[in-house]
């Protein structure tokens, strides 16, 4: 952030591909400007992958994260130029995964605020379990956990924790990367969270306690509600209208099951088959966003779901879909953005967590808020989905 007449001017330092989408969002916001720095070319990383949604598979995730470290020098050059201007920056807000920005900010005397895309409670649990890992190792998998300084709205066991916490491989490269950015996170001046106090206020003090310098956490979400309808990245208005028309044709309110597993989790074709069979057997109308490029409907199902199910293979305006009166439930991976969009729209979630902190989000939704139900089975591996 920079001062403009001592205040209110903001600059995004980003890469060309990301700048294209951001520019559309800020087109009518004159106090926000963009500064582009080139994304590095890295062996093994597909060209033009400048954010995780552009990765063909999460197999490239770690390589992508390490590639972002090469942004440090051009970032520092831009920051130095800003400091020498008449409107020097008052702070830098950077993503949790860009831990190297802390060292840059400290070297140049600019406070760094870290942005988190996860919820307050899931982050507090994650930090607590990392901090108290030696004590937790002696607790059995299904005994309740007692996390010092935390009051949980549900019973938590080790079985509810992400695999990276339960069975950490201290030599794993991703584990070491998270440890590195986690240390930078803890030393940050402040924290911005995509959540809201009405949902997680009671968990903020516990979360803040893990920051070394008494950092304060600000909940500025749900960020999805700041987005104006129609200002999304979809340029195919006909496609959006087709989906809306199909939903409107479903006469009974709250009757359609919406299915989406986000842009990052990789769901096997065999698991997608199980989802397809479950949706067919449910007898309910459904709208299903499929990311896989290799999967096709099992033989015979297309005719059975004709007129009742709509399968989409491109990006959709999820918030708009969830806000439609026809949607009655959301079969979700429980990524935090999807959780916030569903809660904001008042749509119950059928929780099928897959990666990262999603199991904690699912626990919060189902047992903490009573806003959904859980898909029973091993994380990311179910034999049959009850819909």
pLDDT above 50: residue 12: yes
Tokens for 24? Answer: 């559309």
Choose one of 184, 200, 226: the last residue of a domain: 226
Same domain as 294, residue 177: no
- Cα–Cα distance between 104 and 73 in angstroms, integer? 9
Query: Is residue 171's pLDDT more than 50?
Result: yes
Can you give the CATH number for the domain in which 81 is found?
A: 3.40.50.2000
CB 310 within 8 A of CB 258: no
pLDDT at 198 over 50: yes
Residue 16 tokens, joined: 């060309």
* Domain stop point among 226, 246, 270: 226
Residue 207 and residue 262 share a domain: no
pLDDT digits (tens, 9 = 90+) for 209-223: 999 989 999 999 999
Q: Find the mean pLDDT for residues 7-24.
A: 90
Note the helical H segments in 39-71.
Answer: 61-67
Report how far residue 347's alpha carbon sits from residue 322's, in angstroms, rounded to the nearest whole number.
7
Pair of tokens at residue 319: 């918030």
**Domain residue limits at 209:** 2-226
- Residue 172 and residue 121 share a domain: yes
Residue 290 pLDDT level (bands cut at 50, 70, 90): very high
Average pLDDT over residues 39-60: 93
99 and 144 inside one domain: yes
| pLDDT value at 227 more than 80 | no
Task: Answer for the pair 168, 175: CB distance below 8 angstroms, yes or no.
Answer: yes
Residue 26 in any domain: the answer is: yes
pLDDT for res 259: 98
Considering the domain architecture, whether residues 190 and 302 belong to the same structural domain is answered as no
Angstrom distance (rounded) from CA 327 to CA 288: 12
Residue 377's pLDDT is 56
pLDDT band at 237 (very low <50, low <70, confident <90, very high): low
pLDDT-based confidence at 250, cuts 50/70/90? Answer: very high
Q: Classify residue 255: in a domain, yes or no.
A: yes
- Give the E-state strand segments of 23-69 in sequence order: 32-36
Angstrom distance (rounded) from CA 362 to CA 360 = 5
Q: How confident is the model at residue 45 (pLDDT cuts 50, 70, 90)?
A: very high
| Number of independent structural domains in the chain | 2
Kindly state whether residue 386 falls inside one of the protein's structural domains: no
Average pLDDT of the segment spanning 145-161: 94
For the chain, helix, strand, coil in percent to 5 are: 40, 15, 45
Does some domain include residue 90? yes
Q: Directed axis angle between helix 173-186 and helix 100-108, to 10°?
A: 30
Residue 122 lies in a domain: yes
- Mean pLDDT across the chain, nearest whole number? 91
Structure tokens, 280: 């067919």
Give the mean pLDDT of 85-94. Answer: 94
Asked if residue 200 and residue 117 are part of one domain, the reply reads: yes
- My answer on whether 96 and 149 are in the same domain is yes
Q: How high is the pLDDT of residue 273?
A: 96
Burial 174-206 (b: 16+ CB within 10 A, else e): eeebbeebeebbbbbbbbbbbbbeebbeebbeb
Checking if the pLDDT of 381 tops 50, the result is no
Of the chain, the percentage scoring pLDDT greater than 90 comes to 75
315 and 193, same structural domain?
no
Please give the share of the chain, as a percent, with pLDDT higher than 70.
Answer: 92
* Domain's final residue, options 157, 191, 226: 226
Handedness of CA 312, 315, 320, 323 (dihedral sign): positive
Higher pLDDT: 164 or 151? It is: 151
Instruction: Flag whether 85 is in a domain.
Output: yes
Query: In terms of domains, do 76 and 104 share one?
Result: yes
Query: Residue 166: what pLDDT?
Result: 79
pLDDT surpassing 70 at residue 10 = yes
Q: Which of 111-115, 236-240, 335-339 has the lowest mean pLDDT?
A: 236-240
pLDDT of residue 167: 78
Residues 203 and 247 in one domain: no
CA gap 47, 203 in Å, rounded: 41
Please, which pLDDT band fits residue 136 given cuts at 50, 70 and 90? confident
What pLDDT sits at residue 231? 47
Q: What is the pLDDT of residue 71?
A: 98
Judge if 111 and 195 occupy the same domain: yes
Task: Report yes or no on 381 lying in a domain.
Answer: no
Whether 193 and 314 map to the same domain: the answer is no
Q: What is the mean pLDDT of residues 1-16?
A: 74
pLDDT attached to residue 228: 63
Confidence band for 307, pLDDT divided at 50, 70 and 90: confident
State residue 2's pLDDT score.
Answer: 53
382 is a domain residue = no
Strands 190-193 and 2-4: unpaired
């Amino acid at each position: 952030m920079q001062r403009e007449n001592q205040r209110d001017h903001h600059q995004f330092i980003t890469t060309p591909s990301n700048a294209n989408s951001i520019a559309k969002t800020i087109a009518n916001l004159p106090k926000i400007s963009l500064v582009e720095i080139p994304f590095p070319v890295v062996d093994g990383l597909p060209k033009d992958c400048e954010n995780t949604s552009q990765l063909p598979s999460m197999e490239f995730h770690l390589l992508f994260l390490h590639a972002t470290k090469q942004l440090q020098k051009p970032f520092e050059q831009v920051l130095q130029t800003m400091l020498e201007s008449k409107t020097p920056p008052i702070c830098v807000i950077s993503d949790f995964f860009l831990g190297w920005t802390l060292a840059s900010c400290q070297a140049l005397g600019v406070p760094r605020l870290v942005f988190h895309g996860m919820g307050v409670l899931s982050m507090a649990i994650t930090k607590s379990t990392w901090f108290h890992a030696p004590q937790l190792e002696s607790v059995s998998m299904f005994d309740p956990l007692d996390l010092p300084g935390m009051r949980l709205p549900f019973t938590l066991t080790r079985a509810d924790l992400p695999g990276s916490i339960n069975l950490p491989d201290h030599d794993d490269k991703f584990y070491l990367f998270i440890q590195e950015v986690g240390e930078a996170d803890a030393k940050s001046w402040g924290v911005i969270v995509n959540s809201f106090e009405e949902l997680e206020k009671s968990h903020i003090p516990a979360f803040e306690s893990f920051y070394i310098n008494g950092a304060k956490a600000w909940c500025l979400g749900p960020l999805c509600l700041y987005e104006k309808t129609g200002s999304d990245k979809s340029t195919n208005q006909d496609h959006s209208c087709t989906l809306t028309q199909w939903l409107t044709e479903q006469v009974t309110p709250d009757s359609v099951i919406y299915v989406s597993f986000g842009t990052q989790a990789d769901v096997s074709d065999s698991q997608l088959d199980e989802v397809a069979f479950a949706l067919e057997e449910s007898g309910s109308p459904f709208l299903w966003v499929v990311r896989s490029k290799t999967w096709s409907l099992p033989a015979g199902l297309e005719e059975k779901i004709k007129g009742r199910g709509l399968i989409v293979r491109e990006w959709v305006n999820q918030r708009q879909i969830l806000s439609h009166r026809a949607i009655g439930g959301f079969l979700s991976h429980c990524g935090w953005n999807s959780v916030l969009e569903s809660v904001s729209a008042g749509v119950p979630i059928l929780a099928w967590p897959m990666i990262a902190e999603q199991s904690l989000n699912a626990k919060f939704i189902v047992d903490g808020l009573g806003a959904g139900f859980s898909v029973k089975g091993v994380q990311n591996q179910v034999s049959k989905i009850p819909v």
